[in-house]
Amino acid sequence: MFGLQRIEIMRTLKTTIALAFIAVTTICNASPTKTSLSGEWDWADAPESRTFSIDLKLNGNQIVGQYCAVAQSGNKTDCDDEKNPNLHGELDRAGRSAAVEFTSFFGAKKGKAVLKISKGRLIWHVTQDPVDGEFYAPRDAVMDRH
């Protein structure tokens, strides 16, 4: 009798472990999470005369995206209607921040920025202004998921 009880306990334990593994794997692979850079983001406290949004996609540790910056009450639109990524970079090991290089849609190139997640928000910080053209993205922005 003890042998049969032991076998039944082992089966129950194996089933429980398998279900727990499936649950954890599903939760970890769900996307986007509050800590993921992936997704659409909007400038949380933008001045009335400006807007800024970013659409980010992850592929492994690579990040690609497109921003849209509108300034001077709509007189300067640093955007593209098409899906033309204008920023790319690499995630850090934890996957919570990325160093990116970006270009503007006004010809400026080789800009650099850091993106990071803090308390569920995306922080955009330009570390090097782009050269050889104009750009209208803010130098700093706190962004909410769209």
pLDDT at 146: 87
The whole-number pLDDT of residue 16 equals 65
Q: Specify the 3-state DSSP secondary structure of 46.
A: coil
Confidence of residue 90 (pLDDT cuts 50, 70, 90): very high
Tell me what pLDDT residue 81 has: 85
Cβ atoms 99, 134 nearer than 8 A: no
Residue 33 has pLDDT above 70, yes or no: no
* Residue 62 and residue 130 in one domain: yes
pLDDT single digits (tens) 4-31: 676 676 677 566 665 555 554 444 444 4
Cβ–Cβ under 8 Å, residues 52 and 46: yes
CA distance 39 to 70: 20
Quote the pLDDT of residue 27: 43
In terms of domains, do 111 and 70 share one? Answer: yes
| Averaged pLDDT of the chain | 86
* Residue 71 pLDDT greater than 70, yes or no: yes
Domain count, the chain: 2
**pTM of the entire predicted model:** 0.75
A 10 A CB-CB count for 99 gives 15
Domain identity same for 101 and 81: yes
Structure tokens at 16: 């429980």
Inter-residue contact 107 to 133 (CB < 8 Å): yes
Mark whether 59 and 115 lie in a shared domain.
Answer: yes
CATH number assigned to the domain comprising residue 114: 2.40.128
Cα–Cα distance measured from residue 10 to residue 4, given in angstroms and rounded to the nearest whole number: 10
Same structural domain, 21 and 59: no
The mean pLDDT of 1-5, rounded to a whole number, is 64
- Cis previous bond, 32, omega within 30: yes
Domain with 131, as residue range(s), is 39-145
